[in-house]
């Protein structure tokens, strides 16, 4: 695994956890919306272009030329949010006759979001985000030290 692959993997983890936090935030924001169903992020192994292909596309040059320079042609590893599924668990029913979403008995199905569960989910996402961020920081520090090897006093 090259330096760029390490950064790519951590970056993929950061992006996945950011998406997870957005989904959890949306759930919390809609926890009192009648009929809202909880959204759940489903993670899967990330399949992405190698870093050299992405960089070549950005720079508008041939990928082979860039590969010779970088010598890091491993696909991006890590996870991504592959899909978002709806939790079909029914929410609690509240008797509100005349409500637009009320059934024949006057009951309205409320959201199935449990804010306590969502807060725990958010804590996990934040911890995972911080773990990936620390990998990026360690890689940057290692790269900085590597660059200082040949310098006087380095």
> CB of 76 within 8 A of CB of 48?
yes
Within-domain flag for 94? yes
Structure token digits, residue 18: 């950011």
Within-domain flag for 153? no
Of 130 and 54, more confident: 130
Q: What confidence score (pLDDT) does residue 32 get?
A: 94
Within-domain flag for 116? yes
> CB of 91 within 8 A of CB of 111?
yes
Does position 51 have pLDDT exceeding 60, yes or no?
no
Q: Which of 103, 51, 35 is nearest to 59 (CA)?
A: 51
Within-domain flag for 151? no
Within-domain flag for 63? yes
| pLDDT classification of 93: cutoffs 50, 70, 90 | very high
Domain enclosing residue 18, as ranges: 3-146
Within-domain flag for 57? yes
Percent of the chain with pLDDT over 70: 79
If one counts the domains in the chain, the total is 1
- pLDDT tens digits for 125-141? 999 999 999 999 998 89
Within-domain flag for 152? no
Within-domain flag for 10? yes
| pLDDT classification of 9: cutoffs 50, 70, 90 | confident
């Amino acid at each position: 695994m090259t330096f760029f692959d390490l950064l790519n993997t951590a970056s993929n983890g950061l992006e996945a956890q950011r998406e997870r936090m957005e989904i959890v935030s949306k759930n919390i924001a809609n926890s009192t919306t009648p009929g809202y169903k909880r959204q759940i992020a489903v993670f899967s192994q990330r399949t992405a272009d190698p870093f050299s292909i992405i960089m070549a596309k950005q720079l508008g040059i041939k990928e082979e030329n860039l590969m010779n320079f970088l010598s890091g042609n491993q696909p991006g590893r890590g996870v991504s949010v592959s899909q978002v599924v709806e939790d079909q668990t029914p929410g609690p029913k509240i008797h509100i006759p005349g409500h637009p979403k009320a059934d024949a008995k006057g009951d309205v199905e409320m959201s199935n979001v449990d804010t306590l569960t969502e807060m725990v989910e958010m804590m996990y996402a934040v911890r995972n985000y911080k773990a990936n961020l620390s990998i990026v920081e360690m890689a940057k520090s290692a790269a900085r030290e590597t660059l200082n090897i040949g310098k006087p006093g380095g």
